[in-house]
Amino acid sequence: MTSQPKSTGSGSKGFTRVALHMPFDEAHSEREWSSPLCSCKTTRGSCCWMCCCWPYYRYTVSVRLGETPFMPLIPCAAFALRVKMRALFSIKGSLIKDFFTSLCCEPCVVCQMMRELDSVGL
């Protein structure tokens, strides 16, 4: 939209009404992740399994998000899944941050996504 609509009512000639306060819908606001990236202290069991069975956890996250079971075989799968999860659950972040976080610490990223899926009940 490039301009405001002109007033057609019986008000003053040439004036336009502009709403200053719009209702805010909290359901569409962005939120933080339910747990920090490196919080293996609280979920030691899953983090230990994650180190041993990394492909299985990527597979589990992929299936729980409704993606193909073969998604973990694609390079940068954790990055793609993280971007999808942020979009689905309105989580704060950026593509650049997702890319470098997934590149540098993929096991932590996958663990965080598992915890997020658990917290939303998916």
Is residue 8 a part of any domain in this protein?
no
pTM for the full predicted model: 0.69
Is residue 34 a part of any domain in this protein?
no
What pLDDT was estimated at residue 50? 73
Is residue 70 a part of any domain in this protein?
yes
Is residue 25 a part of any domain in this protein?
no
Which range marks the domain in which residue 55 is found?
44-120
Looking at the 3D structure of the chain, how many domains does it have? 1
Is residue 76 a part of any domain in this protein?
yes
User: Mean of the per-residue pLDDT values for the chain?
Assistant: 79
d(CA 66, CA 76): 17
Q: Which residue has the tokens 């492909």?
A: 55
Q: Is the dihedral of CA 40, 41, 46, 49 positive or negative?
A: positive
Is residue 51 a part of any domain in this protein?
yes
Percent of the chain with pLDDT over 70: 70
Is residue 48 a part of any domain in this protein?
yes
Is residue 35 a part of any domain in this protein?
no
Q: Identify which has the larger pLDDT, 112 or 1.
A: 112
What pLDDT was estimated at residue 28? 57
What pLDDT was estimated at residue 62? 93
CA nearest to 113, candidates 43, 55, 74, 58: 58
